[in-house]
Structure 1
Amino acid sequence: MSVTRKRLLALLLASVALGASPSWAEVSIAPPASVGVSSTGLEALNKTFHGLVDEGRLAGVATLLARHGKVVHFDAYGVQDVNTKAPLHRDTIFRIASMTKPVTGVAMMILYEEGKWKLDDPVAKYVPEFANLKVKGPDGTLVAQDHPMTMRELMSHTAGFDVSAGYAPDVTNRDEPLQAMIDKLGKLPLATQPGTDWRYGPSVNIQGHIIEKLSGQPLDQFFEQRIFNPLKMADTGFSVPAAELPRVTSVHTYDAQKKLIATPSVNDPSVKPAFLSGSGGLLSTTEDYWRFSQMLLNGGELDGTRILKPETIKLMRQNVLKDGVLVDLYGPSQQGIGFGMDVAVVLDPAKATTPQGKDSFYWGGAFGTWFWIDPTNDLVFIGMIQNLNGSVPGRDTPEVRSISYPLVYDALTDVK
């Protein structure tokens, strides 16, 4: 039984003894008005997301809003599986997919603070297999890199590697270690000249390999010792204990009639993969990811535990893309958005057509999980669903990210 599960069991027993409803998370909920949040606005947030479940468009959804360091909203609604009807709880475990990337970014910045690497270092200094990579030109000819790809470019998806779908066969394999991916990439040309194009590919998995080399530890051990344990993220990792499997939500999709169905699990979440994906391998809970995000908003510290320096956090959310290089996740290229160290950054809210404050930074996961951190309005929002292609616009999954933005900012009584 995990630390968190023991804690929850103790809370449950205590609440039963007192004749109260069980508390499914240790986090306390502050009065919304105390931090400039409207209770009416939070009711609208709940009504909207509960409606998506009641209409059969989502199996379940968990949402959390914190402002000025206080959680004012933490809701879990629906089921973990449409077949079993197991209810979704605040401590439900989700596959957070690419929300793993900011965690890897923090791990990299821990090593950055220790002087293990610099932004303008060539990647080949740490991955010698990439020293002589050629670039595939438009006509198929191979040319030299016009400059060695840098760590800054690796951290911002502009090192020249192709999108993940551009590699056939896939360069990653759950049953092989990170070194096997490096060996494969070391024999393939780059898709673009470094620094010239933003492509969402293997860059963060490469960072995972670099973390292992620079720290001398497997990636999961580094994450646990340097991030998860200090932040009390007891339910976050590359696998879950077998006893905790009932807490893991199923992945859902839609049949031909657009009815929700649970899909067979792609992988057994109780089995730790050989390939520790810093790009997308973690499972976590809403509360755990809030603790991680709140640390970032606080300038690298939470509950007296410091993970990074404030200036390092500012560096992480500073745009490092060259002029004319645009973030282009699902197309078309996103105006007003930049990219820092494994996080996207809102540079111009008007151009980005978002109510989020300037300098907000964020990312999401393939199964629909999403989060953002807004230092201008001093808030964190975490959202969790679990659908195949759950973050791809234009599919059957409701576009929960864009739905949540106006609801959150309409709930603020002093929005900036």
Structure 2
Amino acid sequence: MRRFSPLLALLLPLLLAPLASAEAPQISPISAAMQKFAAEGKISGAVTLVAKEGKIIHHAADGKANLETDQPMKKETMFAIASMTKPITATAVMMLVDEGKLSLDDPVSKYLPEFADVKLKDGKAPSRPITFRDCMSHTAGFQGSQSFETSLADAAKDVATRPLLFDPGSNWSYSPGLTVAGEAVEVISGMPFEKFLETRLFQPLGMNDTTFYPNEEQRARTAQIYSPGDQPGTLKPSGNAYSDPSKVKGPNPSAGLVTTAADLVKFYQMMLDGGVASGKRYLSESAVAEMTKLQTGDLKTGFTAGCGWGLGFYLVREPQGVTGMLSPGTFGHGGAFGTQGWIDPDKKMIFVLMIQRSGFGNGDDSDVRKAFQTLATDAVKQ
């Protein structure tokens, strides 16, 4: 039998360690639950990721990305994350705040003049101007669709023509406020919105699969969106304009990004670490604190009980139901197609759920989300 030298015997475990740790350990009950949801026709498949104290402790792909082609779900499968785009847009705004190029309480009309003449539903002028704080906490009074088939500049102008539902700051209503904020980023920075994000956030963080305009290779690994089928327990494909770049004429700051779980966790870890990643500061600690503190006071907000809103982020105030396993102060966001991303600062945990479905009700209050988060938190208690 061949014998190793004493020195090699000492070094061998260290040499092999990177290979051994290249594959994240799995929380097997999470995969079992996702496979059960797929078998029941509630999802086609899922990519799930859990990080704890800066390390990925679970990253798994289960089920199918496309049922018609039998394409398996993979860790690198891409997903349309819809409104999970909003916190990323808010981050861009806060970068400019950090640089002194705008203030959260600046009137939006200072940079987008079309908002100087907005009117309430009764035709009267609002009691005060709309601010960036209003836009990013959904208290501006904006209404109407968050999707558009035009340029970002024209989409913002269209929002300005819609009557306000209420005086800015007096109430809460989910709205295209982040679309308006994203256009302001273009104007203030002098860069196309997608280029600002690419150069200031995505490239430095290594988020190479995060884009408004997926290329051919990325489209080929983007999961199909499914709706309830004609028979119970079945699924049928449903469309999504944002996964077809030929239909995207402008980046949608409220809903347009396509990405992977592995990319998102890099952004979330930076936020959890107070705006720093790999020694590079992206946001000041005060900017992160502002984004993740309650901005809506006692106003009644959506989409689950016991929650409120920060700037671009949805906050857990009083954990209950689908948030019952999370800590007060947990922040994150969901997307229209069921995707979820949440950061629990107390537990130092990140939860990323990537699925693609529509027509199943409130994605923020889904049984899939609850099962995923419950199994993840249970696993770290053991």
TM superposition score normalised by structure 2: 0.88
What is the distance in 2 between the residues matched to 1:230 and 1:86?
31
TM-superposition CA deviations, 1:46-99 (whole Å, max 9, x none): 221121123332111010000000001000011111110011100001111111
Partner of 1:381: 351
What is the distance in 1 between the residues matched to 2:185 and 2:242?
25
In the TM superposition, residue 264 of structure 1 has moved relative to its aligned partner by 4.8
Give the root-mean-square deviation of aligned CA atoms.
2.3
Structure 2 unpaired stretches of 5+: 1-18
Percent pairwise identity: 35
In the TM superposition, residue 257 of structure 1 has moved relative to its aligned partner by 0.8
Change over 3 Å in CA distance of 1:408–1:194 after alignment to 2:
same
AA of the residue aligned to 2:119: K
What is the distance in 1 between the residues matched to 2:318 and 2:147?
35
TM-superposition CA deviations, 1:13-44 (whole Å, max 9, x none): xxxxxxxxxx9xxx94556xxxxxxx7xx222
AA of the residue aligned to 1:46: S
2:220 to 246, 256, 264: 246
Partner of 1:6: none
AA of the residue aligned to 1:412: V
Partner of 1:320: 295
What is the distance in 2 between the residues matched to 1:309 and 1:187?
35
* Superposed counterparts of 1:2-151, under 5 Å: 28-29=22-23, 42-136=27-121, 141-151=122-132
1:223 to 178, 183, 197: 197
Secondary structure, counterpart of 1:73 in structure 2: strand
* Superposed counterparts of 1:138-287, under 5 Å: 141-164=122-145, 172-174=147-149, 176-258=150-232, 259-264=234-239, 266=241, 269-271=244-246, 273-287=248-262
Partner of 1:293: 268
Partner of 2:319: 349
What is the distance in 1 between the residues matched to 2:40 and 2:129?
52
What is the distance in 2 between the residues matched to 1:194 and 1:352?
30
In the TM superposition, residue 294 of structure 1 has moved relative to its aligned partner by 0.8
Change over 3 Å in CA distance of 1:278–1:393 after alignment to 2:
closer
What is the distance in 2 between the residues matched to 1:45 and 1:78?
12
Secondary structure, counterpart of 1:372 in structure 2: strand
The question of whether the paired residues in 2 share the 8 Å contact of 1:120 and 1:150 is answered with yes
Partner of 1:371: 341
What is the distance in 2 between the residues matched to 1:49 and 1:257?
21
Partner of 1:339: 309
Change over 3 Å in CA distance of 1:375–1:265 after alignment to 2:
closer
Partner of 2:3: none
In the TM superposition, residue 351 of structure 1 has moved relative to its aligned partner by 9.1
Partner of 2:9: none
In the TM superposition, residue 115 of structure 1 has moved relative to its aligned partner by 0.7
TM-superposition CA deviations, 1:129-148 (whole Å, max 9, x none): 11121211xxxx32221222
Q: How many residues align?
A: 362
The question of whether the paired residues in 1 share the 8 Å contact of 2:118 and 2:160 is answered with yes
Secondary structure, counterpart of 1:134 in structure 2: coil
What is the distance in 1 between the residues matched to 2:189 and 2:368?
37
In the TM superposition, residue 254 of structure 1 has moved relative to its aligned partner by 1.8
TM-superposition CA deviations, 1:243-288 (whole Å, max 9, x none): 3322111111122213112235545534472221000001001100
The question of whether the paired residues in 2 share the 8 Å contact of 1:238 and 1:272 is answered with no
Partner of 2:373: 405
AA of the residue aligned to 2:139: T
The question of whether the paired residues in 1 share the 8 Å contact of 2:37 and 2:368 is answered with no
Between Structure 1 and Structure 2, the one with more helix by share is 2
Structure 1 unpaired stretches of 5+: 1-22, 32-38, 165-170
TM superposition score normalised by structure 1: 0.81
Partner of 2:332: 362
Change over 3 Å in CA distance of 1:162–1:244 after alignment to 2:
closer
In the TM superposition, residue 321 of structure 1 has moved relative to its aligned partner by 1.1
